[in-house]
A and B are shown apart, each in its own frame.
Chain A
Amino acid sequence: MTTDGVQLDNGVSSELESFITGLYKKGPTFGLTREGFGAILTEIGAKYLPTGASFHDAIDLYSSLRIEDLALARACAAGHEPAWEIFMARYREKLYDIGAYIAKEASAARELADSLYAELYGTKTREGERVSKLASYTGRGSLEGWLRTVMAQEFVNRYRRQRRLVSLEEETEVGKEFAAKETEPMIAVDARVEAATDEILFELRPEDRFVLASYYLDGRTLAEIARTLAVHESTISRRVDKLAKSVRKQILSALVRKGMSRRQAEDALDVDVRDLHLNLQDWRMQESSSKTFHGKEGNPASPSEAQASGVEPDH
C-alpha cells in the first residue's frame, strides 16, 4: 500500500492502519466513518509528509494532529447537522470575539465574522456540492487557532484591497492633487554596499531575520515579537541589539574586503538611499532651465527671475 509521498510496505501499512483505527476509536467522530477518517488522514499525510518519509514520521505527524477538532471540522464540511450544532455551540460566539479582537471595531468585526461563517458553512457550491472552508482544515493546530488565522488573513486581504481602492478613488477625483507613487531611487547606491548587505542578510538565521524585519520594518514592539516567539521580552531586546551590532560590523568588514577604506565604508552605511534620491532631484531642478519653472507657492516667478530663466512672466 502506498500513500502519495509515503512509500510503505504491507507490514508497516497494516500497523499504520491499526494506529489510525486507534485514533478513530479514541475520541468522538461526529458521524464520520472509519474509512472516511482514514481517507482524511491519508490526505493530510500526503500534504505534509516529505517524499520518502518513514513510518515513524507518519506516526509523529498523525499523533500531533488535533483529532477531535479535525473530525468535527470535516463532519461539518460533509454536512452532518449534529456536528454543525456542536460547532455552533462552541464557536459561533468565539467568531465574533475573534473578529472584535482583529478588527477592533464592532461593525467591521461583525462583518468579518459573518463573512467567515458563511464560508465555513459553505454558501458556494462546486459541481452541485456545497464547498465549505472547513474541508481545508487539517488539524495541525487547534480549530480555534485556525479560525483566528483564517479571519486574520481575510482581514489583511481586505485592508490591502481597501488601500488599492482608496488610491484609485484619489487618482480619479477631479482637481485633487495626489502624491505620486514612490519609485525606486534613480541613482543606485554603491553596488558594493548592496552586495555586501545582501550577503550578510542572506547568512542570517531565519529567526534572526524575522526579529529584525518585525522590529525595523513592521515597527512591532519587543513585547509583541517576544509573544510570537514565546520568549521573554528582554531576550528579544538583547537579540535586536546584538544583531544590529553584528550586521553593521559584518557589512563594514565585507566592504573593506571589497576595497573600500574603513572611513568610506562607514560613510556608505550611514547614507540613506532616500536622501540620495531627493538630493538628485534638487540637483536636477537647479540645473534645469525648463519652462516648467515656477516661483514659490505656484505663483509666477518674478520678472527678473523669469527673464533669467527665459520664461515669459505672467501678468
Chain B
Amino acid sequence: MAGASADLLMENALFILGVNHRTAPVAVRERLAYAETEVASALQRLKQATGIAEAALLSTCNRVEVIGVTADPDRAEAQVSAFLAADRAVERAAFTDALYHFNGRDAVRHLFRVGASLDSMVVGEPQILGQLKLAYAQAAEAATVGLILHRAFHKAFQVAKRVRKATLIGHGSVSVSSVAVSLAGQIFDTLGDKTAMLMGAGKMAELTARHLKALGIESLLITSRTFDRAVALARELGGTAVPFENYKPYLRIADILIGSLSVTKPMLAHHDVEAIIRDRKYRPMFMIDLGVPRNFDERLNEIENVYLYDIDDLDAVAQKSLGHREREAEKAEEIVIEEIDAFLKWLAELEIVPTIKDIRVSMERLRDLELTRHRAWLATLEPAERERIEMLTRGLVNKLLHRVMAGLRHHDRSSPEAINTAEVARRLLLESNGTTPDAMDLDDLHEDLIEDSGEDDPI
C-alpha cells in the first residue's frame, strides 16, 4: 500500500479488451457479438465472474469490446477473455490472436479514438458515437459503471463532439451510391417532388434507389430487360415498373436517371436527350451511369442542364472525399492526445491520501470555527476547563476521522472501489470545492441517443 505507487496504479486502472474489424474477420466478430438486449445481463455476469470494479460492453458490427476498470489489469485481461469464451461459447483459440488489450493511457486513447470515429472502418462515420452512448446507457442500467467509467465515457463523448466541431472528418461521402445521392442534393433542392428512373435493376442501382427513397424521393420508376425483375424490385422499393419496350416516354419525367444495364453501345442518342430537355422546359436532369460498359454517351454531359456522372467520375469524387478525411483525421488525433492528458490528470488526482488529509483539515477548520464562536464564553472559564474542552473537541474529531479512514481503508487503498468510496467521502465531508465531476443526466443522454439516430449519414 505504498502511496508512491498509488497514482501509477490509478492511471492504469482503465482497460479495454476486444476485437475489431482490423484484427478479426466477421466470422469471429459475429460469434462474440451481443445483441442489444443481452448486454445488461452479460455485464452483470461479467462483473460477478471477474470481480472487476466497473465494466461496459460495446458490441457493434465492427467491434466487440469490454471497457473496464480494475486494480490489476493483467489478471483482468485473462479473466475477461476467459469470460467471453465461456459466455459466448467460443473456444479461446478462435479469437485470442485477434484480441487487443490496452490499459492506462493506451486504453483512454483507444476509447477516445473509437468515440471520435477514428478507429472506424469508414473514418468519420457518425453511427459509432450513438453506439458508444448506447453502451454507456446499458452499463448504467446494469449498474456496472462507477466514477471512473462514468467520467471516461463522458469525456469520450466530449472529445467526439469537439472533433466533429473542429474538423471536417464527418463531411464528404464515401461509397459510389452515397456520392451519387450527395450530388443529387447539389443539383436538386428537395427530392420530395422528383422522379428517379432506374434503367436496369443492378445491385448498385438498387442501393442508390434505396438511398433516394430514404431521402424522400417522390416516385421511382423501374425498367429492366426482364420485366419480372423490375416488378419485383418496384414492389420491394415502392416504385412503379415500366416495360422495357416502352420506357422512352417516361424519360421526360425522370429528374434522375440511373443506368445499370448491360449494353454493347450507349442507350440514348444526343438529339433524343436534347429533345427531352426541351420538353422538360430545361429542368435539370441528373444521369448516373453505373454500367460497365457505360450506358450513356459521355457527351450527353454537354447538353444544357444535363449532369452526367459515370462510375469513374463517382469513384473519383469518393476518393477525393476520403483523402480529405485522412487529413482531417490527423487534426482529430491531435485533439485526442490533448484530451488524454486532461483525463489522466483527473484520474491521478483521484487519490485517497489527499482525501484523508483534506477531510482532516476540513474538520479541524470546523472545530476551530466552533471554538472561535464560543470564545467569549471560553474566556470566562478556568484554564484547566478550557484545556478540557479543547481535548474534548479534538477527541471528537479524531473519533469521527478514524471511522472515515477505517471505511476508506477497508478497501485496497488504490483500488477503484476505494476511489469510489473516497469520492463519496469527499462529497459528504468536504465543503464543495468543485472537484466532483459534473453528473451526466441520463435523460440528456437519452435525448442524445434519439438525436444521433436521426443524423444517419448514407454510408
Q: Do A and B actually bind?
A: no
B residues lining the A interface (CB < 8 Å): none
A residues lining the B interface (CB < 8 Å): none
